Amino acid sequence: MRTILITGPGGSGRTTIAAATARRAAGEGTRTLLLSADRTDTLGAALGSATGPAPAEAAPNLTTWRPDAVERFRADLTAFQTRAANVLDLLGAARLDAEEVTPLPGAEELSFLRALRDAALSERYDLLVADLPPLPQALALLALPEELRRYLRRLLPAERQAARALRPVLGRLAGVPMPADWLYETAARWDVELAAVEAVLTDRNTAVRLVAEPGPAGADAVHTARLGLALRGLRIEALIANRALPGTTGDSWLSSLLAQQHKTLAEWQDQPYGVHTVPHLGRDPRGGDDLTALDVAAVNRAPVPVEWPVTDRLAEDGMLVWHIPLPGAIRDELDLVRRGDELVLTAGPFRRIVPLPSALRRCTVAGAALRDGELRIRFTPDPDLWPTGGR
């Protein structure tokens, strides 16, 4: 399945572009699912028909879905209370009724990620168009699966499950209760679910389309998004310059705005991804006719995946070089810290902890350089871990 993640600054028209993109693909015969992360039905307003908590047909070959985070959270909490019944009874805790449960922070994000996973794994559709939240929330959402999996592995390592038989003894010796089996089983189930989401986001058929109005604010947002997405290994396949004004406006107050748009569009043309300009309709698009009138980019073939290759320069200068594309990164805002078999990489306001490729785990960091939007980290083999004549 082809997956297109659409996001942009708040108010840039990303939901309308997502709806128009899905509608165009459906009109061309592609079985399309349009998934919305918006708690309000802005997607329904754009389509001219309401969307709901269950997948529903909005047009031929077009299905819409706006997951209900409240119901999913209630179901999860009910299941948790059932599994943890013995512990809750021991603590004298009163269980919550479903009617009094309201979602905690993060529940909507997790609900949407599960829906994204379920949709991407479905064989009913050929294309998934995901209308993500505005850029800051979208970048955090896309980072969530990997970060949660790392926390789970650190807090509840799977290898500790081998000591099940010793837990009662250890508990008596330590004087504190040891984690029960259900806790490890829950962590393992969450790890599997998050791994499935991560697989969707990193799939070679998944790409991002950024929506922004050409202008100073849009340019700043795109610059930040490029860096945040690159750090996550996500490629921008297209930048949608939305609500572009006509080429001429006469001698009016719009001339200054038009000049700003032209300047930004000229700067965007130098980017490695495609820039698609969508003219302003002169009104807020509402319904199928308006969406059809929007000149959105067609769905193309699968994008080229992002690569973080390691080049072997051992014969030349005794080094391995890890190439990490970071377009828009600034040298003074970069920071690297080696922690065991992981690299803590900070670029501007973003941070990611990534595992080192297997060959680099037996090396020490020799230096790094940022050139042409690419971070090149040099490693030299550790003599104690890298025997002479082999790897």
**Cα(143)–Cα(165) distance, rounded to whole angstroms?**
36
Q: E strands along the chain, which residues?
A: 2-7, 32-36, 56-59, 62-65, 127-131, 206-212, 236-244, 274-279, 310-313, 319-325, 334-339, 342-347, 350-355, 363-371, 374-381
Among 260, 293, 326, the domain boundary falls at 293
Instruction: With respect to residue 35, please indicate whether it lies within any of the assigned structural domains.
Output: yes
- Residues 326, 227: one domain? no
Boundary of a domain, candidates 241, 259, 293: 293
In a domain, 389, yes or no: no
| Predicted local distance difference test score (pLDDT) of residue 170 | 44
Mutual angle of helices 135-155 and 216-231, in 10-degree steps: 20
**CATH number, position 35:** 3.40.50.300
Residue 144 lies in a domain: yes
Into how many domains does the chain fold? 2
Whole-number Å distance between alpha carbons of 261 and 211: 14
* Rounded Cα gap, residues 369 and 131, in angstroms: 36
Looking at the fold, whether 347 and 214 belong to one and the same domain comes out as no
pLDDT of 23 reads 95
- Helix, strand, coil shares, percent, the chain, to 5: 45, 25, 35
Same domain, yes or no: 289 and 154: yes
Residue 78 lies in a domain: no
Residue 298: inside a domain: no
Of 238, 259, 293, which marks where a domain is finished?
Answer: 293
Q: What is the DSSP letter of 249?
A: -
- Partner residues linked to 310 by β-bridges: 322
Phi/psi of residue 118, nearest 5 degrees: -60, -40
Whether 275 and 330 map to the same domain: the answer is: no
Same domain, 281 and 375: no
State the pLDDT at residue 176. Answer: 46
Tell me the pLDDT of the chain (391 aa) as tens digits. 899 999 999 999 999 999 999 999 999 999 999 999 988 899 999 998 889 889 999 999 999 999 987 777 777 777 777 766 766 666 677 777 767 767 677 778 888 999 999 999 899 999 999 999 999 999 999 999 999 999 888 877 765 554 554 455 444 444 444 455 666 777 788 889 899 999 999 998 999 999 999 999 999 999 999 999 999 999 899 999 999 988 765 656 688 889 899 999 999 998 888 899 999 998 889 888 999 999 999 987 766 778 999 999 999 999 999 999 999 999 999 999 999 999 999 999 999 999 999 999 999 999 999 999 999 999 999 988 876 654 4
Round to whole Å and give the CA distance between 367 and 377.
6
Strand, helix or coil for residue 340: coil
In a domain, 79, yes or no: no
Sign of CA dihedral 6, 10, 15, 17: negative
pLDDT at site 251: 57
CB 371 within 8 A of CB 326: no
- The radius of gyration computed from the CA coordinates of the chain, to the nearest angstrom, equals 25
β-pair type (342-347, 350-355): antiparallel
Q: Which residue has the tokens 């919305």?
A: 36
- 364 and 253 housed in the same domain: no
Residue 327 lies in a domain: yes
For residues 335 and 280, state if they share a domain. Answer: no
pLDDT at residue number 346 = 97
User: How far apart are alpha carbons 87 and 182 in whole angstroms?
Assistant: 10
pLDDT in the model for residue 389: 54
Residues 247 and 345 in one domain: no
CATH number at residue 319: 2.60.40.790
Question: Which helix (H) or strand (E) covers residue 39, if one does?
Answer: none
- Indicate whether 230 belongs to any domain: yes
CA distance 202 to 142: 10
Its domain, for residue 321, covers: 310-381
Assess whether 321 and 287 both reside in one domain: no
pLDDT at position 208: 96
Are residues 122 and 215 located together in one domain of the fold?
yes
Question: 162: part of which helix (H) or strand (E)?
Answer: none
Same-domain status, 172 and 320 = no
Nearest to 201 by CA among 232, 223, 177, 172: 232
Please check whether residues 146 and 230 belong to one and the same domain: yes
The alpha carbon dihedral of 254, 257, 259, 265 has a sign of negative
